Structure 1
Amino acid sequence: MELYFIRHAQSENNALWESTRSSDGRHPDPDLTEKGVRQALYLASFLKTPRSLPPNANRGADWHNRYGFGITHIYCSLMKRAVRTAAIVAQALNLPLYGHLDLHENGGIYWQDPETGDFIIQAGLSRSSLLALYPNFILPSEVGEEGWWNRPFETEDESRFRAKRLWQWLLERHGNTEDRVAFFSHAGFYHTFLSTILGFEHMGNAWVSLSNCAITRLDITPDGVWVAYTNRVDFLPDSLL
Structure 2
Amino acid sequence: MQLFFIRHAQSFNNALWERTGSSNGRSEDPELTETGIKQAKILAKQFAHSASDQEGLNHNAWKKEELHLTHLYTSLMIRAVSTGIEVAKCAGLKLMAWPDIHEGGGIFVEDPETGVRVGRAGKRRRFFEENYPELILPPNLEEGGWWNRPHESTEECEARARMVIDTLLSRHGSGSDRVAMISHVGFYNVFLRVLFQIPEQAAVWFALNNCGITRIDFAKGEMGLVYANRLDFMPVDLIS
**TM-score for the superposition, normalised by structure 2:** 0.94
Q: Does 1:178 align with 2:182?
A: no
Worse-superposed segment, 63-72 or 130-139: 63-72
Distance 2:105 2:92 in 1: 32
Is 1:60 paired with 2:22?
A: no
Q: Match of 1:125, as an amino acid?
A: K
Where does structure 1 differ by over 4 angstroms across 4 or more consecutive aligned residues? none
Deviation at 1:131, TM superposition (A): 2.4
Distance 1:117 1:97, change over 3 A: same
Aligned to 2:197: 199
Unmatched 5+ residue regions in structure 1? none
For residue 226 of structure 1, the aligned residue among 218, 224, 227 is: 224
With over 3 angstroms needed to count, the CA separation of the structure-2 counterparts of 1:15 and 1:163, relative to structure 1, is: same
Which stretch shifts more, 195-204 or 167-176?
Answer: 195-204
- Aligned to 1:219, what secondary structure does the other structure show? strand
**AA partner of residue 34 (structure 1):** E
Which of 54, 71, 74 is residue 72 of structure 2 equivalent to? 74
Name the CA distance, whole Å, in 2 between partners of 1:168 and 1:16.
Answer: 35
Partner of 1:50: 50
Give the direction of change, closer, same or farther, for the CA distance of 1:215–1:148 in structure 2 (3 Å limit): same
Partner letter of residue 156 of structure 1?
T
Partner of 1:2: 2
Number of aligned residues: 236
**What residue number does 2:36 align with?**
36
- Would you say the 8 A contact 1:84–1:133 is kept in 2? no
In 2: Cα distance, 1:203 partner to 1:195 partner: 11
The CA deviation at 1:176 is 1.1
| Contact 2:16–2:23 (CA under 8 A) maintained in structure 1 | yes
Answering whether residue 173 of structure 2 is matched by residue 162 of structure 1, we say: no
Q: Name the CA distance, whole Å, in 2 between partners of 1:209 and 1:148.
A: 28
Task: Look up the equivalent residue of 1:126 and give its one-letter code.
Answer: R
**Take 2:51 and 2:83, find their aligned partners in 1: how far apart are those partners?**
22
Aligned match of 2:12 = 12
Aligned-residue CA RMSD in angstroms? 1.5
Deviation at 1:66, TM superposition (A): 1.2
In structure 1, distance between residues paired with 2:230 and 2:174: 25
1:24 paired residue number: 24
Structure 1 counterpart of 2:189, which letter? H
Among candidates 202, 207, 213, match of residue 209 of structure 1 = 207
1:68 is displaced (CA, Å) by 2.5
CA distance, structure 1, for counterparts of residue 216 and residue 138 of structure 2? 25
Offset at 1:60? Answer: 3.5
Identity of aligned residues (%): 45
CA-CA distance at 1:85 after TM superposition: 0.2
Q: What are the Cα deviations for residues 211-236 of structure 1, in whole angstroms up to 9, with x where unaligned? A: 00000000012322100000001100
After superposition, the C-alpha distances for 1:142-200 in whole angstroms (9 at most, x for unaligned) are 21221100111111111000000000000110111110000000000000001111100
Report the Cα distance in structure 1 between the residues aligned to 2:65 and 2:17, rounded to whole angstroms: 37
Shift of 1:44: 0.5
Please give the per-residue CA displacement for 1:27-85, whole angstroms capped at 9, x wherever unaligned.
0000000100000000001121321469xxxx533x23616321010001000000000
Give the Cα separation in 1 of the matches to 2:122 and 2:156.
18
Distance 1:222 1:154 in 2: 35
Instruction: Report the Cα distance in structure 2 between the residues aligned to 1:88 and 1:144, rounded to whole angstroms.
Output: 25
Distance 1:41 1:66 in 2: 19
Q: Contact conserved, 1:111 with 1:120, CA < 8 A, in 2?
A: yes
